[in-house]
Chains A and B, each alone.
Chain A
Amino acid sequence: MENKERKELTETEAIDLLHELNEDMLPKKFGIVGNSWTALLVIMLLTGIYCYINQIRNGLSITGMRDFVFWGIYISNFVFFVAISLVGSLITAVLYLLKVEWRAPLSRISEVIAVSAIVFAGLIIIVDMGRPDRMINMALHGRIQSPIIWDVMVVSTYMTLSFLLLYFPLLPGIAFCRDRLKGIPKWQHKMYQILSLGWKYSPQQYAVVKKAITILSIIIIPVALCIHTVTSWLFASTYRPGWDSTNFGAYFVSGAFLVGSGGVVAGMYILRQFNPAYKKYLTDMHFDKMGRLLALLALVYAYFSINEYLIPAYKMKGEEAGHLNELFTGYYAPMFWSVQFFGMILPILVLMFKKGRKPLPMFIMAVFVIVGAWFKRYLIVIPTMSFLPVQEIPEAWKHYSPTFQEWAITGGSLAGALLLITLFVRFFPIISVWEVAEEKGVSHDIIYTHLHEGNEK
């Protein structure tokens, strides 16, 4: 496979490579760009929190939701977060188990995205609750028949597994920060000390970590499929046209892998711009491979989308017809067709070509995929509640448009997830040194004996 071109490294070359990697991956203080970006995210998050406090005081009436459109962008944003978090299992677990070597520098990026997204998926769903103060009722009176309980179980399981899958491979990295980072505040050093769990680079510790990663990778795949399938069942278990679909599980999972991979590509590009040293590890080859993967995933998603829309459109059964007409030619048509084109069709076309898989076009396609995916979830959740003819309700209740505060809370959650990723980049190595060293052909013995050394030259 990839091994063909790899030339044998001499021991000194290998050790030098390891030292260089170690130095490149040490987290550095942010410059003006990094700091302003962080400040922006913090402001957005705080605005969101302020509006949420307001919502707790005044009830969900501060949102645009009412009795007919009773789920809004909180729910579509929840679906988006769950979707994007699936990439952790794809790149860290599936590609790891398939022994695809180029995934090594991407695994931590994808896992950080997964953990941040799933944490904020859990938070935004609480935001949507009318009585968050009674959350304990789900433990006290939980009914196993309810898909919400299934979702709570699988999302919390996935959150735990993703966290461990991020944490275990990170242990040597944390230990290296603990030992090598000089001139850092005391609390930061203390944090590394606690989080590194007494790591001392011993071969036995590596063996344990590797075993744990393999076990977690195997467990997390069915759990990942579960979280998004169960999330799709929150809709598919009802009778509403547009939701009442047996295709929903596969449709959601395929869309999730697509948006998650888009997220990783965007992350790769931004990291390269942010720190040129990363260009050595996030190479054009990685973009090319991810481009092929993204095109494949978009094709799979197109297949399930055709199933989802074309067959109901062929029949045009009563209520389904009302829903589909709104999407195809009605109120939601501009959004629907933009999302299909920019979020799916255009990426397939561009990524078919080698030139399309260069970093910049890839980044643009990835942004299209991510933004398209967010609005796609809006289109999955909202139109089905607002097209039905309704009577006896105030005019303002018939159509849904999110209020400013609702946008602020949703934006706050997105900013919060990005903030977690940003802080991770600030304090931890975003590329796994020992995994990349393995990818580059450094033997295990050298990794075990020299990983703790920096470049002293």
Chain B
Amino acid sequence: MNNEDNQSDRRKFLKYGFLAAGLTVVGGGLQKVLSQDKDKDAGKKVKVMTTDGKVIEVDDAHCKAAQSCCSPATPEGARQGIPGKKFVMVIDLSRCGHELKCQHSCQRYHHLSGMNVWLKVFKMQEGEHTAPYWMPKPCMHCDKPPCVKVCPVSATFKREDGIVLVDNTRCIGCRFCMAACPYSTRSFNWEEPQLLNETTGVVYSPETGFPQKKGTVEKCDFCPDMLKQGKLPHCVTACPNGVFFMGDLNEDTVSNGAETVRFSKLIKDKGGYRLNEILGTEPSVYYLPAVKRLFPFQDPLPGESNEDKEKKG
């Protein structure tokens, strides 16, 4: 929450919520710091601002210094989720030009080495006479997640903010979640992951997914470490065309960084839908159909990215 952020429109939508939460924490924290004697504090009231802008008084005893606000949580802490949030993503297929910036950014910031790719961009063409288009596919973070249902040890879990995470310190590597996931979003560490240098000495958190561990499952995590700082996930910020919108269903607001819009209006105006609605998994990811596209569909040759093609052309 520094001033530099104010200059950009992005992140404002998330900020208000966190500002209020932050005030609560800071207020409570200050009280604690100023008066060392805990007994003396009992019954004292602290003024805090709620998410809808009201100033209310709270008993100081109820204010806890949530020091973990902005650092990735421990495996136990990561199960809590951000209170009052319900994260959703909207992917606008009409804007995707298969530049794979989202994927590269995701790989880099999650320090993914080897073959595991969390965010894949597929060439879709469902029927002979239907139009091809590019479809980025993150984890759907289903509200009725089949992977969570079948996990024998609760290593993969659903948080109150709608995010589905994997705790690789608990995973036993049975891969039942991979069998259950109808979207095939999960990867397995078949061998000892080649940890990149920058992750040495980093403490593992399910909110970041690294360092990876051999014999465990991993997948797209919606970047909760960024969300709790009021920032957007890496794929959202990396996309040059604003394909990805991320936001909070409770606030009915989503943003791709450049634009912040009403979620319900966006879905209504552009005919948003979810993948495999028929399965009843209730994904948190919505797609906007590939109409009035920014780019004509171009299929790169195998082993060639769109960028190479542009250079050639």
Q: Which residues of A contact B (CB under 8 A)?
A: 58-61, 63, 65-68, 70-71, 128-132, 134-135, 137-138, 140-143, 145-149, 152, 234-235, 237-240, 243, 388, 390-394, 397
Q: B121, B152, B184, B216: which contacts A130 (Cβ < 8 A)?
A: B216
Is there an interface contact between B188 and A137, defined as CB atoms closer than 8 Å?
no
- A143-B152, A149-B152 given; 17 more Cβ-contact pairs under 8 Å: A66-B190, A67-B115, A70-B188, A131-B171, A131-B173, A137-B155, A141-B154, A143-B153, A148-B174, A238-B179, A238-B182, A239-B146, A239-B180, A239-B182, A240-B179, A392-B121, A397-B115
Is there an interface contact between A134 and B170, defined as CB atoms closer than 8 Å?
yes
Is there an interface contact between B215 and A59, defined as CB atoms closer than 8 Å?
yes
A to B CB contacts below 8 Å, 19 in the list: A58-B191, A59-B215, A65-B190, A66-B190, A70-B178, A130-B172, A130-B175, A130-B215, A134-B171, A137-B153, A137-B170, A138-B152, A141-B155, A143-B151, A143-B153, A143-B154, A152-B152, A238-B150, A238-B180
A237–B182 Cα distance when bound, in Å, is 11
Does chain A have a CB within 8 A of B214? yes
Does chain A have a CB within 8 A of B270? no
Report the nearest B residue to A140, measured CB to CB: B153
Name, among B152, B186, B215, the residue most crowded by chain A CB atoms within 10 Å (CB to CB). B152
How many inter-chain residue pairs (CB < 8 Å) link A and B? 123
Task: Tell me which residues across on chain A come within 8 A of B116, comparing CB atoms.
Answer: 67
Report the nearest A residue to B126, measured CB to CB: A318
- A148-B176 contact, Cβ under 8 Å, with A59-B191, A134-B170, A138-B153: yes
Does chain A have a CB within 8 A of B198? no
Q: B180, B186, B215: which contacts A131 (Cβ < 8 A)?
A: B215
Is there an interface contact between B179 and A61, defined as CB atoms closer than 8 Å?
no
Does chain A have a CB within 8 A of B63? no
Closest-CB distance, A316 to chain B (whole angstroms): 15
- A61-B191 contact, Cβ under 8 Å, with A134-B170, A237-B180, A239-B180: yes
Does chain A have a CB within 8 A of B265? no
Does chain A have a CB within 8 A of B109? no
Closest-CB distance, A129 to chain B (whole angstroms): 5
Is there an interface contact between B172 and A129, defined as CB atoms closer than 8 Å?
yes
Contact with A along B101-122 (1 / 0, CB 8 A): 0000000000000011100111
Task: Tell me which residues across on chain A come within 8 A of B174, comparing CB atoms.
Answer: 128-130, 148
Name, among A142, A239, A390, the residue most crowded by chain B CB atoms within 10 Å (CB to CB). A239
Closest-CB distance, A140 to chain B (whole angstroms): 8
Closest-CB distance, A405 to chain B (whole angstroms): 13
Report the nearest B residue to A397, measured CB to CB: B115
Q: B115, B154, B184, B217: which contacts A394 (Cβ < 8 A)?
A: B115
Report the nearest B residue to A58, measured CB to CB: B191
Q: B152, B175, B216: which contacts A146 (Cβ < 8 A)?
A: B152
Does chain A have a CB within 8 A of B277? no
A60–B191 Cα distance when bound, in Å, is 6
Is there an interface contact between B151 and A134, defined as CB atoms closer than 8 Å?
no
Majority secondary structure of chain A interface residues (helix, strand, loop or mixed):
loop
Does chain A have a CB within 8 A of B62? no
Closest-CB distance, A16 to chain B (whole angstroms): 57
A66–B116 Cα distance when bound, in Å, is 10
Is there an interface contact between A391 and B153, defined as CB atoms closer than 8 Å?
no
Task: Tell me which residues across on chain B come within 8 A of A391, comparing CB atoms.
Answer: 120, 122-123
A406–B184 Cα distance when bound, in Å, is 24
A149–B174 Cα distance when bound, in Å, is 12
Q: Bin the interface of chain B by size.
A: 35 or more
A141–B154 Cα distance when bound, in Å, is 7
Task: Tell me which residues across on chain A come within 8 A of B150, comparing CB atoms.
Answer: 145-148, 237-238
Report the nearest B residue to A391, measured CB to CB: B122
Task: Tell me which residues across on chain A come within 8 A of B215, comparing CB atoms.
Answer: 59-60, 129-131
Is there an interface contact between B154 and A70, defined as CB atoms closer than 8 Å?
no
Does chain A have a CB within 8 A of B189? yes
A393–B187 Cα distance when bound, in Å, is 11
Name, among B121, B186, B190, B216, the residue most crowded by chain A CB atoms within 10 Å (CB to CB). B190
A129–B173 Cα distance when bound, in Å, is 5
CB contacts under 8 Å to A, within B219-242, are none
Is there an interface contact between A392 and B190, defined as CB atoms closer than 8 Å?
no
Does chain A have a CB within 8 A of B55? no
A240–B20 Cα distance when bound, in Å, is 45
A42–B117 Cα distance when bound, in Å, is 42
Is there an interface contact between A135 and B184, defined as CB atoms closer than 8 Å?
no
Does chain A have a CB within 8 A of B128? no
Q: A61, A67, A137, A397: which contacts B172 (Cβ < 8 A)?
A: A137
Closest-CB distance, B75 to chain A (whole angstroms): 11
Is there an interface contact between B149 and A130, defined as CB atoms closer than 8 Å?
no
- A142-B153 contact, Cβ under 8 Å, with A239-B180, A239-B182: yes
Closest-CB distance, B36 to chain A (whole angstroms): 39
Closest-CB distance, A401 to chain B (whole angstroms): 15
Is there an interface contact between A234 and B176, defined as CB atoms closer than 8 Å?
yes
Task: Tell me which residues across on chain A come within 8 A of B186, comparing CB atoms.
Answer: 67
Task: Tell me which residues across on chain A come within 8 A of B151, comparing CB atoms.
Answer: 143, 146
Report the nearest A residue to B276, measured CB to CB: A239
Closest-CB distance, A410 to chain B (whole angstroms): 17
- A67-B188 contact, Cβ under 8 Å, with A134-B170, A148-B176, A239-B180: yes
Is there an interface contact between A392 and B216, defined as CB atoms closer than 8 Å?
no
Closest-CB distance, A380 to chain B (whole angstroms): 13
Closest-CB distance, A381 to chain B (whole angstroms): 10
Task: Tell me which residues across on chain B come within 8 A of A394, comparing CB atoms.
Answer: 115
Top 4 A-B pairs, shortest CB-CB distance: A130-B173, A130-B215, A61-B191, A148-B152
Does chain A have a CB within 8 A of B192? yes
Task: Tell me which residues across on chain B come within 8 A of A71, comparing CB atoms.
Answer: 175, 179
Is there an interface contact between A141 and B170, defined as CB atoms closer than 8 Å?
yes
Is there an interface contact between A131 and B190, defined as CB atoms closer than 8 Å?
no
Closest-CB distance, A399 to chain B (whole angstroms): 16
Task: Tell me which residues across on chain B come within 8 A of A129, comparing CB atoms.
Answer: 172-174, 215
CB contacts under 8 Å to A, within B10-58, are none
Report the nearest B residue to A384, measured CB to CB: B179
Task: Tell me which residues across on chain B come within 8 A of A59, comparing CB atoms.
Answer: 189-192, 214-215
